[in-house]
Structure 1
């Protein structure tokens, strides 16, 4: 067994395990998991095609070449997965079948080329021959280009969703899609690398590394990323469905509030934050705070945005950082204890937000305060 066969076979086994894990999960979003499993299945088809090619099975069963058609749909399906994960009201509809369009050029290739995407030894050799590109080389360029387009759109969706979450949630790890952003970004990087390699291969004599090994390793890397990140999806939709008011609701609340009412609500909010200290709740949401104040969540969001110039996340973090500064000056507790007592749900979030607000890490802040106090005592003792 050669390297290509071993890599492809390992990828097939890993892919089946990850897909089973996604489809058999009883919790989480079934529609999202199904789309992600379908995207992985398309990648799996490509690995099966590579294995069949290098074992000679493709010569005996030419119909297996149809599996290559499915590979081009992996990035549109991943885009659908991202859409489900970032839009609480997203449901698959017939109009979404338009995203199958990448199949059309590949299916049409045999109609305009005598050999089509020839996967025989001669066809593979022609794909390495540089300029002008053969049908198989053009197919590879097209697949990578489609991947770049859809993955770029997916990353844009994730980034936009992260900003919306900041307007509604005061905690990060369990509600943001940081892992999904990393997943999509790395997939985009791999697609861009593949596209670059495919373009360089158009130059005569530029073989680089074996195409099948690179492609197989790319798919396997995707499987490992899904296994590490995707199977531990955070529960993001409970708060999102309650708290994420539509843009229309927000705009209406904004237009109906006059300046005096907004200022009164702002003073009510500030007094409540000081008196009740809701920011000490690790998983505070704007929906929770709005319920306590008996205000619509979109209206409260507008008050915070306009009167503080911050989103809900940064507004709550400012209170937590202030409390942390008090604890750093008055106690010798550990950073983990201070993070918990200040309302942060993790030490990493505490460090990140503290530095964002003060420009210092908590340790640097405490050290500077101790040095300032020591200097003050020394000055007072001197004659």
Structure 2
């Protein structure tokens, strides 16, 4: 019943890290994105304090508080989702219905904990920590409460992680309909962190149940807290660096007609010709941050009409359409010059080597370097034969 030193130190470090992040958030201008990030950090802090309460042995002095963090933990998934809405959705406001739905998780756990919270005295709760002094009937109540809270947390949080993934996917999709460069707007770091948070909370729930049953594994108290601290560190780093996205960066994707074109086929063909001319003759694709609005102004065609032409007539989107011309120009430069791949990527309009490599390989099946080598070998073989 003493102090578990290693996890206590880890969670104490996490508490300090979270507090510093909260101070940073509170010092910023009051905006929806900052508000929801602050709420999420407060909930993480409550979770961390709950772990410190157990690992530090403080529960011996206030056993009545054991498990009081469980209802608050149910709000982690909703808070992450609300932060995503404030950061990526064109409608930053969360309606009352969404708040009520989020509160059903904590309320459900509170109801499930009533037999444990009200039916067991503080002395009996403390006795449950020791197998030699625990009452079997009270232990059964505690176990069922733990099992119920864990299953509720897994299901409730998983549901919110799924809808948050969908929100991010929709955000990324609409960027590809309006911009040729999306790296600074797409928040791809957030998608990775969603996976990591899901892994942390899933493992935490599993470890919580195993610990309650007295089962220890190599990750208990050391590996899992370190993993959780690493994810928290990475999340706070990127979240605090994330700028406020403009409304134009978060507009809803263009709606596609279900069965028929809004424009006649002849009009779609005319717009397609204008688009081709703007790319091939005017070389607009060389503009690093070419947008749908910029292209619309250049060819005097509305954004909606361009989007319909791209999606319905050319079976593509703005992002892939522009980058296809960039890749074709890059192929030419790779064979006609000895310039470095990175230099060519920036020269043809890409603003990152990783995006260039991805687009190039998707188009040709080769990396830029591999394509250059392959074509050189092919040319040599043709020359010999």
Please state which band the TM-score falls in when normalised by the shorter chain. 0.7 to 0.9
TM-score of the aligned structures, taking structure 2 as reference length: 0.85
Superposed, which structure 2 residues align to 1:1-383 within 5 Å?
2-26=5-29, 30-61=31-62, 64-65=65-66, 66-98=68-100, 99-113=102-116, 114-115=119-120, 120-124=125-129, 133-197=143-207, 206-208=215-217, 216-217=225-226, 219-234=228-243, 236-241=245-250, 244=252, 247=255, 251=257, 255-379=261-385
Measured after TM superposition, the shift of residue 134 of structure 1 is 3.2
Measured after TM superposition, the shift of residue 3 of structure 1 is 1.9
The answer as to whether partners of 2:63 and 2:126 remain within 8 angstroms in 1 is: no
Q: After superposition, what is the alpha-carbon deviation per residue over 1:36-64, rounded to whole angstroms, capped at 9, x for unaligned?
A: 22112112112222323444544445675
Measured after TM superposition, the shift of residue 68 of structure 1 is 4.1
Measured after TM superposition, the shift of residue 263 of structure 1 is 1.2
The answer as to whether partners of 2:181 and 2:289 remain within 8 angstroms in 1 is: yes
The answer as to whether partners of 1:12 and 1:47 remain within 8 angstroms in 2 is: yes
Measured after TM superposition, the shift of residue 329 of structure 1 is 1.5
The answer as to whether partners of 1:124 and 1:136 remain within 8 angstroms in 2 is: no
Structure 2 distance, partners of 1:251, 1:84, is 29
Q: After superposition, what is the alpha-carbon deviation per residue over 1:201-251, rounded to whole angstroms, capped at 9, x for unaligned?
A: 68x66343586657644542332121232122155435425x64653xx54
Structure 1 distance, partners of 2:123, 2:177, is 52
The 10-residue stretch of structure 1 (307-316 or 118-127) with the greater mean CA deviation from structure 2: 118-127
How large is the Cα RMSD of the aligned pairs? 3.2
Structure 2 distance, partners of 1:83, 1:4, is 33
Shift of the 107–37 alpha-carbon distance from structure 1 to 2, 3 Å rule, reads same
Structure 2 distance, partners of 1:72, 1:86, is 23
Q: After superposition, what is the alpha-carbon deviation per residue over 1:104-132, rounded to whole angstroms, capped at 9, x for unaligned?
A: 122223434413999944344579x9988
The 10-residue stretch of structure 1 (263-272 or 147-156) with the greater mean CA deviation from structure 2: 147-156
Structure 2 distance, partners of 1:30, 1:280, is 36
Structure 1 distance, partners of 2:126, 2:63, is 13
Structure 2: unaligned runs, 5 residues or longer? none
TM-score of the aligned structures, taking structure 1 as reference length: 0.85
Q: After superposition, what is the alpha-carbon deviation per residue over 1:298-355, rounded to whole angstroms, capped at 9, x for unaligned?
A: 2211101122211111111110000001111111111111001111111111111111
The 10-residue stretch of structure 1 (192-201 or 226-235) with the greater mean CA deviation from structure 2: 192-201
Structure 1: unaligned runs, 5 residues or longer? none
The 10-residue stretch of structure 1 (319-328 or 140-149) with the greater mean CA deviation from structure 2: 140-149
The answer as to whether partners of 1:279 and 1:316 remain within 8 angstroms in 2 is: yes
The residue matched to 1:134 in structure 2 has which SS?
helix
Measured after TM superposition, the shift of residue 272 of structure 1 is 1.5
Structure 1 distance, partners of 2:219, 2:330, is 55
